[in-house]
Amino acid sequence: MASLFTKIIEGELPGHFVWKDPVCVAFLSIGPLKPGHTLVVPRVEVDHWLDLDSETVAHLARVSQSVGRALFRAYDPVKVGTLTAGLEVPHVHFHVVPIWEPRDLDFGNAASNVDPESLAAEAEKVRQALRELGYDQVSN
């Protein structure tokens, strides 16, 4: 059975995409730790990042860095943090989050029931920052 992320990637479920390329996509988390919290997800459905080939892991890291630069530009945080946990959805994904303090990466503080219009506005903010940085993989 397809993972939740595969269903989002294939358009079966809605997603607020900010990046699309042949290897991966990036879309906003529906349970964000902070506004702009983005998930970088390979198109191939693999449960654990250790099972990915090295080239895919490197690509996900590069895209996470690009998205991180956009989050830094859009939100002016102290840092941009990344996590690869994967406990909640059995499909590899890197969390990229603007942070101001360590507790900003605590999943116990994740928002719930976020308004889809608010997510759409945050996605556009991230897409705009990606465009300003010159990336052409920005999702429409």
Side chain identity, residue 26: A
3-state helix, strand, coil in the chain (%, to 5): 40, 20, 40
Question: Global pTM?
Answer: 0.96
| Structure tokens, 101 | 């303090």
Can you give the C-alpha Rg of the chain in angstroms?
14
* pLDDT tens, position by position, 33-58: 999 999 999 999 999 999 999 999 99
Q: Which domains does the chain have, with CATH numbers?
A: 4-132 (3.30.428.10)
* pLDDT tens, position by position, 58-117: 999 999 999 999 999 999 999 999 999 888 899 999 999 999 999 999 999 999 989 999
